[in-house]
């Protein structure tokens, strides 16, 4: 039965406000230790520069970083926050944490809607799963597109399932102005309604396509490219379509969604739920369609294959897992969610035995702390020296607005630490060379298995970085200072 039936509106609203406050408070408390954490990787490379261009110069299309097809929704949100608070890293982190708290709350409401015929507390369990997810934990404080896109995807689905089609279409318009791949969501909604011959309702979901089209036309008129630049289009549209890369992307998506971080327990629970016909209602079919289309779209588009692209469909997976657990026996109904929650929490700190983006868990905090320590050392002791290093540290040392240094240092940037990149360095160009672990390299590394490494070298241009010893030998350098933490390291080399 529908658990919300018969509850007075005032009482229901009061309960929702209580849960909103609880989820928002939980998000703030969980992220409090990292509100002053300087930006990491793509935050420095694109998202913060584009928001600063809008905040400082009113540029909707970025000028300090290469333009892309990414719409300006998040930049506008951050610029609006900074207009009130002034630009700072804590204000930026806090702005994203607020969206994270709202995401938890809307996920809870969606879980109530999808689990409304079920007794117990699967809705609360689903919200706890999301709260414990290492990907949610890191992304809900980072100035990137995927957390806002996940919030708006979840909200649009909730509104659609509640038959509020016009408002759902407005949420989809906001979604496509945050991330262009969000167009898959209104497409699914429109197709469902058209299939049901509800053409007038389906027409609402053409509106997001028009909004996105206006943005792309404006981008084309400004840059001469529909996707901002030819290189961006090639990397994100053509490059992923090689059969091997496409197959690898799909497998990586399925693994991240159904296996990694103890998700395999949730997958088993979902399979059990299918056997008990828990997912036969229209609402679940619509939600499953959103998951399927999104997973395919982010596998076909985007050369980076990052796990954060799956954030918009994590709530549906966690809700399905919670509902599946609720159909098991009494002991498994309690032990299953507890074990999965513990596994998710362990993923905050425990890294997998293969390279992964540090932004997937608290490895990002370790990475940033090491770089902040090295930047402070360089600024304090070698401010006039010419420093050669790879991005993103090269940008961190040159741009004080990223909060690693107070004054810009002289930097000779290199693309990465492969031999082909470092070979372009001439000894006269630098005084210090800073090398560091740009990717996770555990001792037991699956990527070092020959039959796995060889196709990655061929199809993804994967090459091992030079070791510190090789850098010392090639350039006649010696170690000045080295820091290590959590399996990561950074070292400054000098003559």
The mean per-residue pLDDT over the stretch 318-329 comes to: 93
Q: What pLDDT is recorded for position 5?
A: 52
Looking at every residue in the chain, the average pLDDT score rounds to: 92
Q: What pLDDT is recorded for position 118?
A: 73
- More reliable by pLDDT, 116 or 456: 116
- More reliable by pLDDT, 451 or 391: 391
Q: What band does 453 get if pLDDT is binned at 50, 70 and 90?
A: confident
pLDDT of 3 over the 90 cut: no
Query: 282-300 vs 146-161: helix axis angle to the nearest 10?
Result: 150
Q: What band does 1 get if pLDDT is binned at 50, 70 and 90?
A: very low
Encode pLDDT of 24-76 as tens digits: 999 999 999 999 999 999 999 999 999 999 999 999 999 999 999 999 999 99
pLDDT of 414 over the 60 cut: yes
Listed ranges 122-126, 152-156, 462-466; the one with the highest mean pLDDT: 152-156
Q: Which of 19-23, 201-205, 462-466 has the lowest mean pLDDT?
A: 462-466
Are the C-beta atoms of 174 and 159 separated by less than 8 Å? Answer: no
Q: Percent of the chain beyond pLDDT 90?
A: 76
Q: How far lies 387's CA from each of 159, 382, 412, 493, in Å?
A: 53, 9, 6, 10
Cβ neighbours of residue 157 closer than 8 Å, sequence gap 6 or more: 110, 168, 185, 286, 287, 290, 316
- More reliable by pLDDT, 397 or 276: 397
Q: What pLDDT is recorded for position 202?
A: 97
The mean per-residue pLDDT over the stretch 335-356 comes to: 94
The mean per-residue pLDDT over the stretch 372-399 comes to: 96
Q: What pLDDT is recorded for position 119?
A: 66
pLDDT of 473 over the 90 cut: no
Q: What pLDDT is recorded for position 454?
A: 79
Cβ neighbours of residue 491 closer than 8 Å, sequence gap 6 or more: 434, 435, 436, 468, 479, 480, 481, 482, 483
Encode pLDDT of 190-241 as tens digits: 999 999 999 999 999 999 999 999 999 999 999 999 999 988 889 888 888 8
Cβ neighbours around 2 below 10 Å, total: 10
Question: Helix, strand or coil for residue 25?
Answer: helix
Are the C-beta atoms of 227 and 68 separated by less than 8 Å? Answer: yes
pLDDT of 459 over the 80 cut: no
- Strands 432-436 and 386-390, by their bridges, are parallel
Q: What pLDDT is recorded for position 364?
A: 97
Q: What band does 330 get if pLDDT is binned at 50, 70 and 90?
A: confident
The mean per-residue pLDDT over the stretch 447-459 comes to: 72
Q: Which of 107-121, 218-232, 242-256, 308-322 has the lowest mean pLDDT?
A: 107-121
Report the alpha-carbon distance of residue 69 to residue 44 in Å, rounded.
Answer: 17
- Strands 386-390 and 410-414, by their bridges, are parallel
Q: What pLDDT is recorded for position 9?
A: 82
Are the C-beta atoms of 239 and 245 separated by less than 8 Å? Answer: yes
* Predicted structure pTM score: 0.94
Encode pLDDT of 256-296 as tens digits: 999 999 999 999 999 999 998 899 999 999 999 999 999 99
Helix residue ranges per DSSP H, 32-88:
42, 48-57, 73-85
Structure tokens, 317:
């997976």
């Amino acid at each position: 039965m529908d658990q919300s039936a018969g509850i007075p509106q005032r009482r229901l609203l009061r309960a929702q406000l209580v849960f909103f406050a609880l989820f928002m408070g939980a998000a703030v408390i969980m992220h409090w230790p990292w509100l002053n954490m300087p930006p990491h990787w793509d935050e420095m490379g694109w998202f913060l520069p584009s928001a600063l261009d809008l905040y400082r110069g009113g540029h909707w299309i970025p000028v300090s970083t290469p333009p892309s097809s990414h719409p300006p929704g998040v930049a506008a949100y951050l610029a609006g926050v900074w207009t009130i608070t002034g630009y700072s890293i804590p204000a930026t982190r806090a702005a994203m944490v607020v969206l994270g708290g709202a995401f938890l709350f809307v996920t809870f409401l969606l879980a109530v809607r999808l689990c409304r015929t079920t007794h117990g507390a699967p809705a609360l369990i689903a919200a706890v799963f999301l709260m414990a997810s290492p990907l949610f934990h890191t992304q809900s404080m980072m100035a990137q597109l995927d957390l806002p896109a996940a919030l708006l995807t979840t909200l649009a689905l909730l509104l659609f399932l509640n038959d509020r089609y016009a408002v759902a279409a407005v949420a989809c318009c906001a979604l496509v102005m945050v991330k262009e791949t969000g167009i898959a969501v209104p497409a699914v909604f429109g197709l469902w309604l058209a299939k049901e011959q509800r053409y007038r309702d389906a027409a609402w979901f053409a509106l997001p396509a028009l909004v996105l089209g206006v943005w792309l036309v404006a981008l084309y008129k400004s840059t001469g490219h529909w996707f901002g630049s030819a290189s961006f289009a090639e990397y994100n549209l053509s490059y992923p379509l090689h059969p091997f890369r496409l197959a690898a992307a799909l497998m990586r998506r399925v693994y991240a969604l159904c296996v990694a971080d103890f998700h395999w327990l949730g997958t088993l629970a979902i399979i059990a739920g299918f056997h008990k016909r828990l997912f036969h209602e229209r609402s679940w079919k619509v939600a499953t369609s959103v998951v399927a289309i999104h997973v395919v779209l982010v596998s076909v588009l985007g050369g980076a294959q990052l796990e954060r692209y799956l954030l918009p469909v994590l709530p549906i997976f966690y809700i399905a897992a919670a509902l599946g657990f609720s159909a098991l026996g009494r002991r498994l109904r309690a032990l299953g969610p507890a074990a999965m929650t513990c596994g998710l929490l362990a993923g905050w700190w425990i890294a997998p035995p293969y390279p992964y983006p540090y932004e997937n868990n608290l490895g990002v905090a370790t990475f940033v702390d090491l770089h902040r320590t090295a930047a402070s050392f360089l600024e304090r002791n070698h401010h006039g020296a010419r420093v050669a290093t790879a991005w993103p540290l090269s940008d961190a040392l040159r741009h004080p607005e990223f909060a690693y240094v107070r004054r810009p240092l002289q930097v000779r940037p290199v693309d990465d630490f492969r031999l082909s990149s470092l070979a372009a360095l001439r000894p006269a160009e630098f005084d210090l060379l800073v090398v560091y672990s740009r990717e996770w390299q555990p001792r037991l590394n699956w990527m070092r298995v020959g039959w796995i490494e060889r196709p990655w070298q061929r199809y993804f241009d994967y090459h091992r970085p030079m070791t510190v010893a090789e850098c010392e030998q090639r350039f006649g350098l010696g170690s000045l200072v080295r820091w290590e933490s959590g399996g990561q390291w950074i070292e400054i080399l000098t003559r």
